[in-house]
């Protein structure tokens, strides 16, 4: 280690991964992973979410949930931005995921035509 | 970097406690199950150090949700992967249950055991992979060392530690900043820093946990101390019975060398520091600083008189600073957050926090770190969850084998160096043993004195002979052969040994006896005068139970409950109790339907 600046640079680089263990308020994407969700392709949706977040270097917490009683709308995801209402999107394709992340997660605009429920 | 697409981190504690309850096989099962479900690339397994809750181990924490699972076994892995990692549903049956309320708590910040703690020395333990230097750096590691080496002069560092009010966590409670000042002031071309990780107190494991869970913090603390006093070489003296701590420390030293955080010209400051590990042979007295240095030099681990203090003439005759593991663990915090921020925690004379190893007759045993000034009651009843079912608190022993026992009246005592000393015990390195009404205080005193007596190195007479005499008297008392004047004799011997022994071992060995006489004198008197052990522990003092042959109907119920099989007989004919085997536990008495059993 040559200098404090070098240490701080290294810290910034390695910090990102540690954020997974940060319990603070962050944007959250919840992927429906009930049995029928998985059958409807939720695993691919989850992977698409992760890939998109990685590509854009976003600080988003990705979690899963079980059956939420809307099996016919699978695959589905919830997007929850800090302090905003939770939005459920359904009948998704991988392309929809990219759209939701760029429009909603990055720019804060809800993608109305894919919304199937809003929660206060 | 493939690393960064992990969506979840599963932390598995692989500290010594959790390994003993199966953490390694748990980890292997999880690896297999993740691979079988094609999740290996999405979910990262992180091995951590001790969370202090070993009793409930193996411990697993799943992020990003932060769900805390305890007593997880390999059999549970399939369900965790399927339910939690795939479907996002918490596996409720593996959550922690509060002993008092039976409430299930998903997140560990909400468990009473952790809620009341404040973690500085243990901040990273259980949170990071101790074998990954990057994780330590990601949480701000080595910034204190960087700041000190590039922006502060040695006197500023010493002043900061002085202002923080940090006192040694190894037992004595000597002000750390002052100790550094002495070593800094000593003239010498060569100086050393030593970390005392001998941890000889039976039942104590805080230093081991810090070394296993966050070894870089100790390296960083030592680096700061070395710069402050002008040392370029250091030793960590670890007991050989701590193989995992040694292995993790070795790895940490290697990685720090590779990053140029140990070695030459660190942070381009011109400062060099080389760190070695020395394995200790495990005698209790080797934890005493002069004995420890003798042991590093390859001599017998025996104390030598002070002065000269190590700060003047230490290792190989050179000025040396020696501190405990936990003392060093506080240093990075003090440098990063400032002296004021540290001294704001705790009490006037004892700033900061203290780690305790909480054991005994208590619901939650484990490692706890609390601000100084927290009361014994808060630690025992709020963090420790109180005593076992229906049992009444009797005493708490602090300070390890050199400490004393405090009764119920002292539960509101704030824990700090000076209040504990005033009450006749001491902080010590942080052992805390809770006892209930089933403990005999004479027997407890005998137990601790037996330990120190057998660990006495024999160099000086008061300790070598005096503790032997005291132990003989205690043995006599618990055997029912106590005499008038024994208590006075114990007091006299105790005071004499304390004031004339060469090292801290002898100077503190009588404490358990003196404090139990001070607070539980009636129990000593009952043993001596009434030949009675009120707690029913000293078996020579309690008489066996007998069966009234006339009354016995030969049902055999008593024989079934006897824990030592003292009762024998044929069904339908009278049963008898063998008085030599009977331990007078009384378990048989209520079993008898015709009240034929009584104590002789
Ligand atoms: C018999 C005996 C055993 C000791 N064992 C330890 C020990 O295991 N660990 C420790 O840090 N200090 C132990 N000490 C205290 C050390 O002598 C020394 O005071 C301490 O390491 C200084 O560090 P500190 O100022 O950071 O507490 C022991 C002292 C005595 C008399
Ligand atoms: S007090 Fe005991 S342990 Fe210490 S030097 Fe004397 S004999 Fe040895
Ligand atoms: S008192 Fe206890 S040890 Fe003695 S006979 Fe009864 S059950 Fe057995
Ligand atoms: S329980 Fe009572 S009656 Fe039955 S065998 Fe024992 S002493 Fe006799
Ligand atoms: S399983 Fe997906 S909503 Fe029911
Ligand atoms: S070793 Fe796992 S909690 Fe202590």
Q: Report the distance separating Cα A23 and Cα B156, nearest Å.
A: 36
Q: Does B270 touch chain A (CB under 8 A)?
A: no
Q: Report the distance separating Cα B290 and Cα B293, nearest Å.
A: 5
pLDDT of A37 higher than 80? no
Is the Cβ atom of B15 under 6 angstroms away from ligand 6? yes
Domains B353-436 and B441-529 share a fold: no
**Ligand closest to CA B548:** 4
Q: Report the distance separating Cα B460 and Cα B331, nearest Å.
A: 36
Average confidence (pLDDT) over A58-63: 87
- Cβ–Cβ of B143/A11 closer than 8 Å? yes
Residue B2: predicted pLDDT: 44
Chain A partners of B137 at a C-beta cutoff of 8 Å?
7, 10-11, 14
B497 Cβ contact partners less than 8 Å away, ≥ 6 residues apart: B462, B463, B466, B467, B470, B506, B507, B509, B510
Helix (H, G, I), strand (E, B) or coil at B101: coil
pLDDT tens-digit map of B453-467: 999 999 999 999 999
Residues B404 and B425 sit within 8 Å (Cβ to Cβ): yes
- Best CA proximity match to B562, nearest among B577, B547, B550: B577
Q: Does B326 touch chain A (CB under 8 A)?
A: no
pLDDT of A39 higher than 90? no
pLDDT of B141 higher than 60? yes
B162 Cβ contact partners less than 8 Å away, ≥ 6 residues apart: B175, B177, B178, B181, B339
Phi/psi for B168 (5° steps) reads -60, 135
Helix (H, G, I), strand (E, B) or coil at B15: coil
**Domain B2-94, second-level architecture:** 3-Layer(aba) Sandwich (3.40)
Task: Give residues 508 to 567 of B whose Cβ lies within 8 Å of A.
Answer: none
pLDDT tens-digit map of A96-117: 999 999 999 998 899 999 998 8
Residue with more model confidence, B507 or A21: B507
Instruction: Give the domain ranges of chain B.
Output: 2-94, 133-343, 353-436, 441-529, 543-600
Chain A partners of B2 at a C-beta cutoff of 8 Å?
none
Closest ligand 6 atom to B13 CA: 2
Q: How far is the CA of B542 from the centre of ligand 3 (A)?
A: 11
Domains of chain A (ranges, CATH numbers): 24-119 (3.40.30.10)
What is the nearest CA distance from A32 to chain B, expressed in angstroms? Answer: 7
Helix (H, G, I), strand (E, B) or coil at B34: helix
Q: Report the distance separating Cα B299 and Cα B316, nearest Å.
A: 11
**Ligand closest to CA B507:** 2
Q: How far is the CA of A89 from the centre of ligand 5 (A)?
A: 13
Residues B511 and B402 sit within 8 Å (Cβ to Cβ): yes
Average confidence (pLDDT) over B15-27: 93
Fold of B441-529: de novo design (two linked rop proteins) (1.20.1440)
Q: Is B582 left (phi over 0), alpha (psi -120 to 50) or beta?
A: beta
Q: Report the distance separating Cα A49 and Cα A56, nearest Å.
A: 11
Q: Does B146 touch chain A (CB under 8 A)?
A: yes
What is the nearest CA distance from A74 to chain B, expressed in angstroms? Answer: 14
Q: At what angle do helices B467-478 and B486-500 cross, to 10 degrees?
A: 160
* Percentage, residues of chain B above pLDDT 90: 75
Give the residue on B whose Cα is nearest the Cα of A17. B4
Protein residue closest via CA to atom 1 of ligand 4 = B592
CATH of B543-600, one of 3.30.160.100, 3.40.50.360, 3.30.70.20, 3.40.50.150: 3.30.70.20
Residue B1: predicted pLDDT: 37
Residue B261: predicted pLDDT: 97
Residue B226: predicted pLDDT: 98
Give the residue on B whose Cα is nearest the Cα of A57. B4
pLDDT tens-digit map of B235-247: 999 999 999 999 9
Number of H helices, E strands in chain B: 23, 20
**Domain B353-436, second-level architecture:** Roll (3.10)
What is the nearest CA distance from A120 to chain B, expressed in angstroms? Answer: 21
What residues form DSSP beta bridges with B407? B395
Bridge-based pairing state of the strands B233-239 and B192-197: parallel
Residue A119: predicted pLDDT: 79
Chain A partners of B128 at a C-beta cutoff of 8 Å?
18
Nearest-by-Cβ selection for A63 from B5, B42, B88: B88
pLDDT tens-digit map of B244-283: 999 999 999 999 999 999 999 999 999 999 999 999 877 8
Phi/psi for B31 (5° steps) reads -60, -45
Nearest-by-Cβ selection for B267 from A3, A11, A33: A3
Average confidence (pLDDT) over B291-310: 92
Is the Cβ atom of B559 under 6 angstroms away from ligand 3? no
Residues B296 and B286 sit within 8 Å (Cβ to Cβ): no
From B166, B167, B171, B329, give the residue whose CB has the most ligand 1 atoms within 8 Å, as the site to mutate: B171
Q: Does B6 touch chain A (CB under 8 A)?
A: yes
Q: Supply the DSSP symbol for B323.
A: E
pTM over 0.80: yes
DSSP H or E run through B529? helix B511-529
Q: How far is the CA of B585 from the centre of ligand 3 (A)?
A: 5
Residue B600: predicted pLDDT: 67
pLDDT of B384 higher than 50? yes
pLDDT of B487 higher than 50? yes
- As given in the structure block, the two tokens for residue B272 are 């060099």
What residues form DSSP beta bridges with B105? B96
Fold of B133-343: Rossmann fold (3.40.50)
Q: Report the distance separating Cα B17 and Cα B573, nearest Å.
A: 51
Average confidence (pLDDT) over A41-47: 88
Task: Give residues 81 to 120 of B whose Cβ lies within 8 Å of A.
Answer: 83, 85-89, 107, 109
pLDDT tens-digit map of A18-29: 877 776 678 889
For B341-362, b where at least 16 C-beta lie within 10 A, e where not — what string? ebbebbbeebbbbbbbbbbbbb
Phi/psi for B525 (5° steps) reads -65, -40
Phi/psi for B457 (5° steps) reads -80, -15
Q: Report the distance separating Cα B428 and Cα B172, nearest Å.
A: 7
3-state secondary structure string, A5-61? Answer: HHHHHHHHHHHHHHHHHCCCCCEEEEEECCHHHHHCCHHHHHHHHHHHHHHHCCCEE
From B579, B583, B589, give the residue whose CB has the most ligand 3 atoms within 8 Å, as the site to mutate: B583
Residue B298: predicted pLDDT: 92
For A60-94, b where at least 16 C-beta lie within 10 A, e where not — what string? bbbbbbbebebeebbbbbbbbbeeeeebbbbebee
Chain B partners of A42 at a C-beta cutoff of 8 Å?
none
Q: Report the distance separating Cα B548 and Cα B543, nearest Å.
A: 15
Is the Cβ atom of B588 under 6 angstroms away from ligand 3? yes
pLDDT band at B4 (very low <50, low <70, confident <90, very high): low
For B227-236, b where at least 16 C-beta lie within 10 A, e where not — what string? bbbbbbbbbb
pLDDT tens-digit map of B312-344: 999 999 999 999 999 999 999 999 999 999 999
Residue with more model confidence, B586 or B499: B499
pLDDT of B542 higher than 80? no
What is the nearest CA distance from A114 to chain B, expressed in angstroms? Answer: 22
Closest ligand 4 atom to B553 CA: 3
Average confidence (pLDDT) over B70-76: 95
Q: What angle do CA A16, A20, A25 make, to 5 degrees?
A: 100
């Amino acid at each position: 280690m040559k200098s404090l600046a070098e240490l701080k640079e290294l810290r910034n680089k390695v910090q990102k991964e540690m954020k997974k263990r940060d319990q603070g308020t962050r944007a959250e994407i919840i992927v429906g992973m009930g049995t029928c969700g998985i059958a409807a392709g939720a695993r691919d949706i989850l992977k698409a979410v992760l890939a998109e977040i990685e590509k854009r270097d976003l600080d988003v917490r990705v979690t899963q949930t079980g059956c939420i009683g809307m099996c016919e709308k699978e695959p589905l995801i919830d997007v929850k931005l800090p302090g905003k209402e939770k939005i459920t999107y359904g009948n998704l394709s991988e392309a929809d995921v990219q759209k939701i992340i760029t429009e909603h997660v990055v720019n804060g605009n809800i993608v109305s035509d894919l919304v199937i429920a809003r929660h206060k | 970097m493939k690393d960064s697409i992990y969506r979840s981190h599963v932390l598995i504690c692989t500290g010594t406690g959790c390994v003993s309850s199966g953490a390694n096989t748990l980890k292997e099962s999880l690896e297999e199950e993740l691979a079988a479900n094609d999740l290996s690339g999405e979910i990262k397994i992180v091995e951590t150090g001790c969370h202090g809750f070993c009793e409930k181990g193996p411990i697993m924490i799943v992020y990003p949700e932060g769900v805390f699972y305890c007593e997880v076994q390999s059999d549970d892995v399939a369900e965790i992967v399927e339910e939690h990692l795939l479907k996002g549903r918490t596996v409720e049956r593996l959550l922690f249950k509060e002993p008092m309320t039976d409430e299930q708590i998903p997140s560990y910040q909400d468990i009473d055991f952790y809620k009341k703690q404040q973690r500085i020395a243990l901040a990273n333990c259980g949170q990071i992979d101790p074998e990954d230097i990057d994780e330590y750096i990601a949480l701000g590691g080595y910034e204190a060392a960087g700041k000190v080496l590039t922006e502060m002069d040695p006197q500023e560092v010493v002043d900061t530690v002085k202002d923080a009010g940090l006192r040694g966590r190894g037992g004595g409670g000597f002000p750390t900043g002052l100790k550094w000042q002495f070593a800094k002031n000593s003239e010498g071309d060569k100086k050393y820093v030593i970390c005392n990780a001998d941890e000889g107190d039976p039942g104590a494991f805080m230093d081991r946990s810090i070394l296993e869970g966050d070894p870089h913090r100790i390296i960083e603390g030592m680096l700061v101390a070395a710069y402050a006093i002008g040392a370029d070489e250091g030793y960590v003296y670890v007991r050989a019975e701590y193989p995992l701590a040694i292995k993790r420390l070795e790895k940490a030293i290697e990685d720090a060398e590779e990053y140029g955080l140990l070695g030459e010209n660190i942070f381009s400051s011109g400062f060099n520091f080389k760190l070695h590990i020395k394995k200790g042979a495990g005698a209790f007295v080797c934890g005493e600083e002069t004995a420890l240095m003798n042991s590093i030099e390859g001599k017998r681990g025996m104390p030598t008189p002070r002065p000269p203090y190590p700060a003047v003439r230490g290792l190989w005759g050179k000025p040396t600073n020696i501190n405990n593991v936990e003392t060093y663990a506080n240093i990075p915090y003090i440098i990063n957050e400032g002296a004021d921020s540290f001294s704001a925690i705790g009490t006037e004379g004892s700033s900061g926090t203290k780690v305790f190893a909480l054991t005994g007759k208590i619901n939650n045993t484990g490692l706890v770190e609390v601000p100084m000034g927290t009361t014994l009651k808060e630690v025992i009843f709020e963090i420790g969850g109180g005593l076992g079912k229906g049992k009444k608190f009797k005493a708490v022993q602090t300070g390890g084998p050199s400490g004393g026992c405090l009764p119920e009246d002292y539960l509101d005592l704030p824990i700090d160096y000076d209040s504990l000393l005033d009450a006749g015990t001491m902080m010590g390195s942080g052992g805390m043993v809770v006892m209930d009404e089933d403990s005999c205080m004479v027997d407890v005193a005998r137990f601790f004195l037996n330990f120190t007596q057998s660990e006495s190195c024999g160099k000086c007479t008061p300790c070598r002979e005096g503790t032997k005499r005291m132990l003989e008297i205690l043995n006599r008392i618990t055997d029912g052969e106590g005499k008038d004047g024994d208590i006075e004799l114990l007091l006299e011997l105790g005071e004499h040994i304390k004031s004339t022994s060469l090292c801290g071992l002898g100077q503190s060995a009588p404490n358990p006896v003196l404090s139990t006489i001070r607070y539980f004198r009636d129990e000593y008197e009952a043993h001596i005068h009434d030949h009675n052990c009120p707690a029913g522990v000293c078996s020579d003092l309690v008489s066996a139970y007998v069966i009234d042959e006339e009354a016995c109907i030969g049902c055999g119920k008593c024989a079934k409950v006897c824990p030592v099989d003292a009762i024998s007989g044929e069904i339908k004919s009278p049963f008898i109790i063998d008085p030599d085997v009977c331990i007078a536990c009384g378990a048989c008495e209520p079993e008898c339907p015709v009240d034929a059993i009584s104590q002789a």
